Amino acid sequence: MRRALKEYHFDWMLHSTYDAASRLMAGTEKEYAHALRYIPYFSGMLDAVFGIGEPGRYFIKTCAEYLKNIVTARERGRKVAITSFCFSPVIFYAMDITPICLEVMTVFLTFTYRRGSAEFLDFCNEAGFTETSCSSQRGSLGAYLAGIGVDIDMVVTDTPGVCDTNANAFAFAAEWLDRPFFQLDMPPLLKGERYDRYHRDDYRALVAFLEEQTGTRLEAARLAEVLRELQKQDELIGELEEMGRIVPSPLPPAFTLLNYAARFLFAGMKPCTDMLQSMLTMARRNAERGVSGLAGGVERVRGFFCYIDHYTYNMRMWRMSEELGISLQGNILSRNWSIDAPHVKENHMEESAYSIDLTSLDSMIDSVAIMNSRMPMIKSIRGPFDAPDMWLEDTLSLARMYSADFVVYSGTPGCRNTWGMLKPFARETEKAGFPTHIMYSDAFDDRVQSWEATRARFEEFLKVRRILA
């Protein structure tokens, strides 16, 4: 890591950038253009996000607030926990702990820094961490290992049993930073009394750990408050997911990103509800007018991502979708498994979903335990890909439900979990009639394959497979 980079505090840098951006929307067009001269690289992302209107502004505001919480955690007497994207943050909010989601921070980085996460990734290797591991955690983890982020109090993850590379990054971080560590462990299957009990026992151990770390008890009233907000959000997300089925889809491609933010940053918090509400208003307006959510208003094809979207860098993936007229129907990781979610009802998957029971503290903890076991990736990518409730079943049912014309895999070479079964998986999706494209790029690291090459291969796929003539 170059010395210059170490001179700046990582979270403050991100915070000031997003905070400044969130203020931009109040100003005039000219002020906006003027301000962006100082953060030229960031402008690509901002243009894209502000381009979708009000929901985009809520998104930036949400990000700014999330980052503000991080940088002010200490002065507000809050404990700080490093955690993973597939970990529901509601428990942290109910216990006044400030979560730092490593994968989300890495996405922020790729949006903001011109060189993206490269040097942070490399710093992890310099610290002794393996270079073949997943870039999604490594990106921002490098900053915390280098000591240019906020001080961390604990490390909490829920990927053991699901994704080794992910779990391993958190275990390494805890050891390297010498901080208390807690893992939720996931058995290979999802449903059934034995699995439910394990999920619940494990989650109770987590609560005990957090109580020990904070020196406070988890209060029923606080948890209920957060969960009530979450229920509202689940309803809004459900409506948005339902609207995604309309042809043309009234949802702009970047809604996937906003959806992530809702789940991973601020689930159960008010600003997130506002953002979802605004997204829904916009989607409804598009639907009423019968137009696509794409900037051009014309949907040519619909694509479903079977893993994650391509973030790297500067929202280029979403911008390309706009240009080509591709409606992105989200991906496996942007899916919500609330019992009322449209795909849950449509496919009678109630048992693989979660519901919130506010009756007592116990019932709430159980609800959160089961919800956590149904978080993105945690739910679909644990056991064999072709087992019930797993990756293939979820991908096919969602791709069909959202009338996708093709399926794309985008991930990172560090993903042992998916690359270990991707070829047989793609064979099955092909068999089911979905032309399937595998990207060899890294969603967080441009150095693996340049965006130019990634785009060229993708367009070639659309053309050769006669999806987009």
Partner 1 sequence: MSVRLMRAVETLNNEFVQRWKEEGKKIVGYTCSYAPDEIFHAAGILPYRIRGHGADETTIGDTYFGPFICSLPKCMLQLAGTGAFGFLDGVVIVPGCDSMRRLDDCWRKAGEDIAGVVPQFFFHFAVPHKFAAYTVDWFEGEIRRLIEAVERHFDVRITEERLRDSIELYNRGRSLLEELERMRRLPAPPFTGAEALSVVIAGSAIPRDAYNELLEEFIAVHRAVPRGIEGRRRLMLVGSASDDTAFVRLIEGERALVVADNLCFGARFHNDRVDEGGRDPVRALAERYLRRSDCPRMYGDYRRRLEILVDTIRSASVDGVILQNIRFCDLHGAENGLFERDLEALGVPCMRIEREYGPLVETGRLKMRLDAFLERIDGQGRTA
Partner 2 sequence: MITAGCDVGSLTAKVVILADGAIAGRSVVRCGTSPERSAVEAMDAALGRAGLAIERLDRTVGTGYGRARIPFAQAIESEIACHARGVLWKAPAARTVIDIGGQDAKAIRMNADGRVIQYSYNDKCASGTGRFLEVIAEALEVPLEELGDLAARSTERLTLSNQCVIFAETEIISLVNEGRETADIVNALHHAVARRAASLARGIGVEEAVVMSGGVARNRGMFAALGAALGCSLLEIEDPQINGALGAALIAMDALMGAVEG
Partner 3 sequence: MIVGGCDVGSLTSKAVLMSEGKVLGFSLIKSRTKPEESAEEAMNGACTAAGIDRGEVRFCVGTGYGRDRIGFVDATVSEIACHGKGARWMVPSARTVIDIGGQDCKAIKLDAAGAVVKFVTNDKCASGTGRFLEVMARLLGLGLDELGELSMRAKNPVTLANACTVWAQADVIQFLNDGVPIEDIAAGINNAMAGRMAVLVNNLGVENDVCMTGGVAKNRGVLAAIETILGLRLRAIRRCDPQLAGALGAALIAHEKAAGGVK
If contact means CB under 5 to 8 A according to the sort of partner, which of partner 1, partner 3, partner 2, none does residue 383 touch?
Answer: partner 1
What are 83's strand-pairing partners?
101
**In the complex with partner 1, which residue's Cβ is closer, 51 or 180?**
180
Distance CA 127, CA 78 (A): 28
Stretch that binds partner 2, among 97-105, 302-310, 369-377, 456-464 (CB under 8 A): 456-464
Q: How far apart are CA 334 and CA 166, in angstroms?
A: 18
Query: 3-state class of 407 per DSSP?
Result: strand
Q: Does 298 engage in binding with partner 3 (CB under 8 A)?
A: no
Q: Angle formed by the axes of helices 451-464 and 316-324, to 10°? A: 30
Chosen residue from 115, 164, 457, 467 binding partner 2 by CB under 8 A: 457
Q: Choose from partner 1, partner 2, partner 3, none: what does 212 bind? Cβ within 5-8 Å by kind.
A: none
DSSP string, 206-274: HHHHHHHHHTSPPPHHHHHHHHHHHHHHHHHHHHHHHHTTSSS--S-TTHHHHHHHHHHT-TTSHHHHH
Query: Is residue 416 close enough to count as binding partner 3 by CB under 8 A?
Result: no
Of 39, 291, 448, 467, which one interacts with partner 3 (CB under 8 A)?
448
User: How far is Cα 87 from Cα 260, in angstroms, rounded to an integer?
Assistant: 12
Residue number, 165 or 321, with CB nearest to partner 1? 165
Per CB under 8 A, does 1 bind partner 3? yes
- Three-state DSSP at 413 gives coil
359 close to 367: Cβ distance less than 8 angstroms: no
Question: Where in 379-468 does DSSP place strands (E)?
Answer: 406-409, 436-438
Contact flags string 364-403 toward partner 3, x per CB under 8 A: ----------------------------------------
Residue at 120: amino acid letter = F
423 contacts partner 2 (rule: CB under 8 A): yes
Distance CA 204, CA 213 (A): 14
Q: Which is nearer to partner 2, 362 or 459 (CB)?
A: 459
Torsional class of 150: left (φ above 0), alpha (ψ -120 to 50), beta (otherwise): beta
Tokens in use for 462?
């659309």
CB of 183 to partner 1, least distance (A): 5
The nearer residue to partner 3, 325 or 413, going by C-beta atoms, is 413
Residues in 104-123 that interact with partner 3 by CB under 8 A: 115, 118-119, 122-123
Q: Which positions lie near partner 1, rule CB under 8 A? A: 127-133, 160-161, 163-165, 167-172, 174-176, 181-183, 185, 187-188, 194, 197-198, 201-202, 205, 383-386, 413-425, 427
Q: Smallest distance from the beta carbon of 6 to partner 3, in angstroms?
A: 9
Q: Binds 2, which of partner 1, partner 3, partner 2, none (CB < 5 to 8 A, cut-off by type)? A: partner 3
CB closer to partner 3, 298 vs 456: 456
Burial annotation 72-106 (CB, 10 A radius, 16+ → b, else e): ebeeeebbbbbbbbbbbbbbbbbbebbbbbbbbbb
The site partner of 236 among partner 3, partner 1, partner 2, none (C-beta below 5 to 8 Å per kind) is none
| Region of residue 461 (left: phi > 0; alpha: psi -120 to 50; beta: else) | alpha
Q: How many residues bind partner 3 (CB under 8 A)?
A: 24
Spatial separation of the C-alpha atoms in residues 408 and 430, rounded to whole Å? 11
Among positions 125-144, residues that touch partner 3 (CB under 8 A) are 125-128, 131-132
Sign of the four-CA dihedral 71, 49, 467, 448: negative
Q: What is the rounded distance in angstroms from the CA atom of residue 273 to the CA atom of residue 155?
A: 27
Q: Binding pattern to partner 2, positions 424-453, x when CB under 8 A?
A: ---x--x----x--x-x-------xx----
Determine if 323 is a binding residue for partner 3 (CB under 8 A): no
Indicate which of partner 2, partner 3, partner 1, none lies near residue 135 (CB less than 5 to 8 Å, by partner kind). none
Helices assigned H by DSSP within 52-192: 54-72, 90-94, 102-112, 118-126, 135-145, 164-177
**Side chain identity at 281, as an amino acid letter?**
T
Least distance CB 2 / partner 3 (angstroms): 5
Q: Which residues in this chain contact partner 2 in the complex, by CB under 8 A? A: 413, 423, 427, 430, 435, 438, 440, 448-449, 457, 460, 463-466
Q: Which residues in this chain contact partner 3 in the complex, by CB under 8 A? A: 1-4, 115, 118-119, 122-123, 125-128, 131-132, 413, 446-450, 452-453, 456
